[in-house]
């Protein structure tokens, strides 16, 4: 009998994800990622924010919060406790948490002025369909801010190999092949496919590659994308 491999996945227990990702050099890189995601963004877009998958490290920590009225996160219910802490820190902001399993029933009282997805969409098996559904939650002049790993680019793969030696003590992997299998199950939609889909629906989107800024996935670590919803492909409206 052929059985599916089981991997000891202890990523989110005991804050292991943050210990592995937001410490050392990786912390520096991901902090740059978050800051690039908000670089040059007009405050008017931050009035009503929707973040996709921000449970482990909410992007609001890297934002100018002066104009934020509401901040909603869609993620696994495991992360709901994270936002109880945010409520205490940002008392003037209304926080909402939505279990991603119940998203099809979710209807916001006020549509969002900005959607943020930092290293989330590569986890979507049906990215195109799910992304288009999320657009209905946004105001017509909303801004969409997306950060993606340059996976499977050369530099990203090299960093993943190096990170194994740090991450294995937190995640419970016993071999490099276990990490590779876990990564393959985790990042189910390659960044170049996401970019092709977004380019079709939004021909005038803005791209920023880091660290070399050349528009080549193989030679970068992160890709930052800024999209105005009003630039949706007119032929499809």
**pLDDT tens for each residue of 41-78:** 999 999 999 999 987 889 999 999 999 999 999 998 88
Q: Where are the domains of the chain?
A: 13-232
Which stretch of 28-32, 33-37, 129-133, 182-186 has the lowest confidence by average pLDDT?
182-186
Is omega for the bond preceding 228 within 30 degrees of 0, making it cis?
no
CA torsion, points 66, 225, 53, 95, in degrees to nearest 10?
A: 20
pLDDT of residue 14: 62
CATH classification (class only), 13-232: alpha beta
Question: Would you say 204 and 229 are in contact if contact means Cβ atoms under 8 Å apart?
Answer: no
User: What's the CA gap between 78 and 81, in Å, rounded?
Assistant: 7
- The pTM (predicted TM-score) of the whole model is 0.94
Q: What is the pLDDT of residues 4-50, one digit of tens each?
A: 988 876 666 667 888 888 889 999 999 999 999 999 999 999 999 99
pLDDT of residue 172: 83
Which single residue is written with the structure tokens 């079709």?
200
What is the average pLDDT value for the chain, to the nearest integer? Answer: 92
Q: Which residues contact 63 (CB under 8 A, 6 or more apart)?
A: 38, 46
């Amino acid at each position: 009998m052929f059985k599916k491999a089981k991997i000891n996945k202890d990523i989110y227990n005991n804050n292991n994800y943050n210990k592995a990702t937001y410490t050392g050099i990786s912390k520096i890189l991901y902090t740059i990622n978050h800051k690039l995601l908000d670089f040059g963004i007009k405050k008017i877009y931050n009035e009503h924010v929707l973040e996709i998958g921000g449970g482990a490290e909410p992007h609001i920590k890297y934002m100018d919060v002066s104009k934020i009225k509401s901040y909603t996160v869609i993620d696994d219910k495991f992360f709901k406790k994270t936002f109880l802490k945010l409520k205490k820190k940002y008392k003037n902001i209304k926080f909402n948490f939505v279990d991603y399993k119940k998203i099809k029933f979710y209807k916001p009282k006020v549509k969002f002025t900005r959607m943020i997805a930092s290293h989330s969409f590569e986890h979507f098996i049906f990215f195109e369909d799910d992304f288009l559904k999320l657009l209905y939650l946004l105001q017509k002049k909303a801004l969409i801010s997306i950060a993606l790993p340059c996976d499977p680019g050369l530099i990203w793969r090299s960093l993943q190999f190096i990170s194994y030696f740090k991450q294995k003590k937190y995640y419970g992997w016993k071999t490099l092949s276990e990490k590779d299998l876990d990564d393959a199950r985790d990042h189910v939609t390659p960044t170049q496919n996401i970019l092709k889909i977004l380019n079709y629906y939004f021909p005038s989107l803005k791209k920023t590659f880091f660290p070399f800024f050349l528009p080549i996935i193989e030679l970068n670590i992160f890709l930052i994308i800024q999209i105005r919803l009003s630039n949706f492909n007119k032929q499809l409206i």
